[in-house]
Amino acid sequence: MLRNKAFGILILVLIAALVAGCGKTKENAQVVATYKDGEITAQDFDKFKSVVTLFNPSYEQMMAEASVQESMLKQLIAYRILNDRADKSLKEKSETKAKEQMAEITKYYESQKPTLEEQLKAKKLTKDDIQDFLQLDETARSYMGTQVKEADMKKEFETNTKTDKHYYDKASVRHILVAFENAETGKKLTKEEALKKAKDIQAKLNAGGDFAALAKEFSDDPGSKENGGLYADAPVSQWVEQFKKAAIELPLNKVSDPVETSYGYHVMKVEKRTEGTYDSVKDQLRESLAGQQMSTFLEKELPGLITKTNLPKTEAPKTDAPKTGTEGGANQGSTNGGKTDSGSTNSGTTTK
């Protein structure tokens, strides 16, 4: 079960951000797959796997599994095919975006150890390799976005807002959570104790206390406390029902009475609310529907385009190998696209 979930994250998140392959076929190069109008060499595929494990070292063990490699190879083929279908203009825009993404990655790694250059050297990769991957990914996803019809976007919007009229609304909310059980320390409070502490915090705020400072001092939500308790422009639909209701209904810029959820009591202040109109969420709708079309392409069209796969046999991982972050579920939240990062899931305020 764990392996399947981790692999799902790999396919839906990681590969959606970094998938692709490049490089011309060299004479006598081993071909691991052929498809309509193209082929993948072992060198292409090895480079792709190096990119995957560069950004997610915990996936190293999974690479030995034949089923994982086969699925990754199909993803690589899919993105090659979609890249070939894209026109020149779309490819040029994707190149610009890929350069911007590469600049962000480089900046992020400036404060990391080992450095990006050291990691690239260990993986026998270059920055150009990474940028090529990003560019092909951006091209493939953008192409799929061009296949989304306006009528389908409107239908998706109407379906979701009919179920929940606030489905696309956003709010900027500061909160201080007094948890019934602190996820970091394990300390537990009764409802009465938590409510009393929450009211004391509310009194401090009403007396002119600085919300950000008090959040850093008292909040049990590690996902927001270091940011002064703030969730900025967050979709209200991601929050538990009681927190969502308060975010929608509370008067703006006023400290709330303690709001009870299953996680504890929240002292809240809503700083801004934005209605999610169709025009404001068109890009979001297009991206969502493009993802659905990608899944349909992988499932229904791609198999008919692949002529042959010929991956080398791999050895099963040793049973005495040291455990990695993918075991025990400890790191699953942090790899799920940022939407359910460890901070937000610990607080419980961003999970339905």
CATH code of residue 35: 1.10.4030
pLDDT, tens only, 43-92: 999 998 888 788 788 878 888 888 888 988 998 999 999 999 999 999 99
The domain total for the chain is: 2
Answer yes or no: is 70 within a domain: yes
Answer yes or no: is 349 within a domain: no
Structural tokens at position 317? 């991982």
Q: What is the CATH number of the domain that holds 189?
A: 3.10.50.40
Q: Do both 197 and 263 map to the same domain?
A: yes
Q: Do both 53 and 84 map to the same domain?
A: yes
Answer yes or no: is 327 within a domain: no
Answer yes or no: is 244 within a domain: yes
Q: Do both 249 and 122 map to the same domain?
A: no
SS3 state of residue 176: strand
- Rounded to whole angstroms, the maximal C-alpha distance in the chain is 77
The C-alpha atoms of residue 261 and residue 259 are separated, in whole angstroms, by 7
Q: Do both 144 and 19 map to the same domain?
A: yes
pLDDT, tens only, 202-248: 999 999 999 999 999 999 999 999 999 999 999 999 999 999 999 99
Q: Do both 130 and 235 map to the same domain?
A: no
Answer yes or no: is 129 within a domain: yes
Q: Do both 103 and 143 map to the same domain?
A: yes
- The overall average pLDDT reported for the chain is 84
Q: Do both 61 and 195 map to the same domain?
A: no
Amino acid in position 339: K
Tally Cβ neighbours within 10 Å of residue 56. 21
Full-model pTM = 0.69
Answer yes or no: is 162 within a domain: no
Q: Do both 138 and 213 map to the same domain?
A: no
Q: Do both 8 and 136 map to the same domain?
A: yes
Answer yes or no: is 261 within a domain: yes
Instruction: Please state the rounded mean pLDDT for residues 98-107.
Output: 94
Last residue of a domain, one of 241, 274, 307: 274
Name the DSSP letter for residue 181.
B
Q: Do both 188 and 289 map to the same domain?
A: no
By residue range, what is the domain housing residue 200?
169-274
- Measuring CA to CA, how many Å separate 138 from each of 56, 88, 90, 188, 196? 20, 13, 9, 47, 51
pLDDT, tens only, 190-203: 999 999 999 999 99
Q: Do both 202 and 93 map to the same domain?
A: no
Instruction: Please state the rounded mean pLDDT for residues 5-14.
Output: 36
Tell me phi and psi for residue 107, to 5 degrees. -65, -40
Segment among 162-171, 228-237, 287-296, 335-344 with least mean pLDDT: 335-344
Answer yes or no: is 141 within a domain: yes
> Per-residue pLDDT for 338 more than 60?
no
- Measuring CA to CA, how many Å separate 238 from each of 1, 17, 216, 244? 25, 22, 23, 8
Full DSSP string of 231-284: EEEEEGGGS-HHHHHHHHHSPBT-PPPPEEETTEEEEEEEEEEE---TGGGHHH
Q: Do both 24 and 70 map to the same domain?
A: yes
